[in-house]
Every structure is written in structure tokens, then in C-alpha cells.
Amino acid sequence: MAALARSPLAVDLPELPPLAGVRFASGEAGIRYRGRTDLVLATFAPGTTVAGVFTSNRCPGAPVDWCRRILPGGTARALVVNAGNANVFTGRAGVETVEQTASAAATLAGCDPSEVFIASTGVIGEVLPVEKITAALPALAGQLSETGWADAARGIMTTDTFPKGAVRTATIGGTPVRIQGIAKGSGMIAPDMATMLCFIATDAALPAPELQALLSAGVRGSFNRTTVDSDTSTSDTVLLFATGGAANPAGADLADFRAALDDLLLDLALQVVRDGEGARKLIRIDVHGAETDASAGRIAMAIANSPLVKTAIAGEDANWGRIVMAVGKSGEPADRDRLCIAVGGTWMARAGTVVPGYDETPVVAHMQGGEIDIAVDLGLGTGRATAWTCDLTHGYIDINGSYRS
């Protein structure tokens, strides 16, 4: 298909400075695309710990199976990512591709294959030609550089229209640490444990179990509260690598680090939504007054996944009736006669009926913008949650009616 225009919601890739002990190289393996990078190799300093979360899809790809299997080891020395072929539903061939890739990268990195993480993204059901990967890896190993972050962010893209990255700093026990990551994703986005692909590194020194607890908690309010099209991918993977280079004290309070990590995860997740296939508007949905936070979360996601809400917003129509419908279809506790709905800060519906004579002018202006805010008050309790999505446009149909051709 023709190259996609850059999303109108795109943000610029921030400067991703070197992080000691983390090196990247990107190259063209020619797996599916021509004239662009599609293979990324990364290596990590000895002693790097790792945490990961993966798709809840019951038919995961061979790379997801592999990462799940080696994750309990808790250490990582290399990462191999390819774009254009997801190595999903490829049977025994897919398993062998993963094993041979890990083995080849382990030789180059001087580590055990069980320390090589692998992620693939792209078309489902076609055998991934492992020889193209193993042939390209040695050259990449010779080009590894601590300045390779931005090229790596580009090398993992598929239908993405802009590269995605984020940087945060924090302190642990008085020691400054940095966290930075890259992500890709644009369609088949309704992460249930994570989203498409996201790789984060920090120089913090943290044992793998602690790192895992931080990551698992962090994705709950970020990746797991975003959706482009309600379709949970078979390849969702978020990996967090901690080199320990910052030499922060062990056992120190992690509140600042946790806040920075959560903020970075949300930043990357929202960049994925901003690149949602065909997206022209970023939609934030705040639900409060629900019986519980979990109930608020399910209501927010029901609104975020409603094609009727998303097409109305694409048409710049503040159709709050469809928001009522989506609240009701969630199946969560709701009392129609207490329900209040605001768009762009203007309360349009309150206590079961339209607000008489509400001012439409600010609502119309808000709907014409690129960022849409919806607030829902259930009036039942103190449960709250926020979800993010994008609008549903002709662009989504264009992209997905012809992806394979």
C-alpha cells in the first residue's frame, strides 16, 4: 500500500541520549519492506535485569511464548526486533525461527540464548524467513552504538506514521537515574497486558522482581487503558531493562522512580493512540462517580471502544446520546437518572436529561480541535478511571481494507 501520511496528532521524537550499557543497531533485512530499516538489535551490559508484560491474547506469537519462557531468568543481554512479519500462527517453523534467532544473537553478544529477548510485528500467518535475520545480524553487531535509539524507534515501525519515544529522570535514594523507551503500534490496539511493542531501559539498579512489580502496575493505568480499535494483538510486548549503571543504593524508596516510570509509560501509550490508524482526534474519557475504580475502568473502555462514539467524534458531533448508550451497554452499575456527561468541560446532560439551554458554542469549538475531553459522572460512588482512544475515520477503513495487498 502507499505510504501513509503522518498523523495530524503526531508528536516529535524527543532526544534520546545515550544510556550507558545500552547499544542499538538497525538495518535492512528485507523481510517485507523495501528501502527502510526493519531489523533492530540491542545489547545490554552484563548484570542487566529485565521485566516484561505480554498480550493476554490466547493465540500469542512465537516470540511472546519465547519471552515468557525466559523472563523468569531475570537477566537480559540482547534484544532482536523485526518489523513486517509477526511470526504468529506459524507452527513449528515459528518456534525454530525464534530459537535460531536467539542462538545467533547470543553468539554475537557473548551470552546465553536465554538472555536474548525477541519481538516481531507485522503480518500474521506467514513464515518469518529466519535466514534473512541471521544473515543480517553480524553486520548489525558491528554497528552497535549507544546513540542508536532514534534509528531503533524507526526500525520497529509498521503502519506507524511517526517514531515514538520518551525520556524521564528520577532519583532513587538520592541517586539520579534515567528511564527512556521507544514504542510502536497503530492498529490492532486494545492492549490487555501491554500494547504492540515497547522497549524501555533505565540505568537504575533494581532486582528483576521489583522491576516486574513496577512495570505490571504501570501498564494498568497506561497501556491497558488505551484502545485504537478494540482488537487485542497477538504480539503485545513491553520490556523494561535495568542496567544498574546508576549504582543507586539498594532498598531505597522507589516512589519517585515509580512516578517517572508511570508517566513515561503513559506518554508512550498515548503516542501509540496518536498514531491510531486513521486517527485525527485524541480522545480522553474521564469517568468518576462509579461504584468502584474497576467499574469506572470498564465503563471508560466501553465508551472508548464504541464505534458510534468514535465516528460521531470524527464528524465533530458531540453526540452525548451515544455516550449514554455506551455507558449502558458496559453492563456496569449505572443509574440513567443520575448520569451526567460533559464534553470539553461543558455539562450537556445531567441527572437523566439534557441540560436545558446549555451553551453549545464552546462545545462546537472543542469538537473541532484535535484533543477531545469527555467526562462522565455516574453519581453512584467514588470509583474513577481514565481511558484514551482515537476517532474512527475513513483512514482506518482505507488502511485495513488493503493491509496485505
Which parts are annotated binding residues for substrate?
Answer: 158, 184, 195, 277, 400, 405
125 belongs to the binding site for a second copy (CB under 8 A):
yes
Residue of 336, 345, 368, 370 that binds a second copy (CB under 8 A): 336
Find the shortest distance in angstroms from Cβ 220 to a second copy: 17
Q: Is 195 assigned a catalytic role?
A: yes
Helix (H, G, I), strand (E, B) or coil at 28: coil
What string marks each residue from 311 to 330 as x (binds a second copy by CB under 8 A) or -? xx-xx-x-xxxx-xxxxxxx
- Contacting a second copy within 274-313 (CB under 8 A): 305-308, 311-312
Residue of 63, 181, 187, 218 that binds a second copy (CB under 8 A): 187
Find the shortest distance in angstroms from Cβ 172 to a second copy: 37
E strands present in 204-326: 237-242, 282-290
Return the C-alpha cell found at 142: 558491528
Element (H, E) at 213: helix 208-220
* Complex with a second copy: residue 174 or 405, whichever CB lies closer: 405
Return the C-alpha cell found at 86: 509477526
Binding footprint of a second copy, residue count (CB under 8 A): 71
Spatial CA neighbour of 201 closest among 3, 342, 373, 43: 43
Return the C-alpha cell found at 115: 538472555
Return the C-alpha cell found at 48: 542487566
Element (H, E) at 258: helix 255-274
CB 220 within 8 A of CB 261: no
- Contacting a second copy within 219-238 (CB under 8 A): 229-234
Residue type, 180: Q
Applying CB under 8 A, the span of 173-181, 239-247, 366-374, 389-397 interacting with a second copy comes to 389-397
- Contacting a second copy within 36-75 (CB under 8 A): 56-60
Find the shortest distance in angstroms from Cβ 93 to a second copy: 7
What string marks each residue from 81 to 120 as x (binds a second copy by CB under 8 A) or -? -----x-xxxxxxx--------------------------
Residue of 20, 217, 354, 365 that binds a second copy (CB under 8 A): 354
Return the C-alpha cell found at 382: 467514588
Catalytic residue among 55, 90, 161, 195: 195
CB 240 within 8 A of CB 215: yes
Buried b (16+ CB within 10 A) or exposed e, 214-245: bbeebbebbbbbbbbbeebbbbbbbbbbbbbb
CA–CA dist 262, 395 (Å, integer): 31
Active site positions, annotated: 195
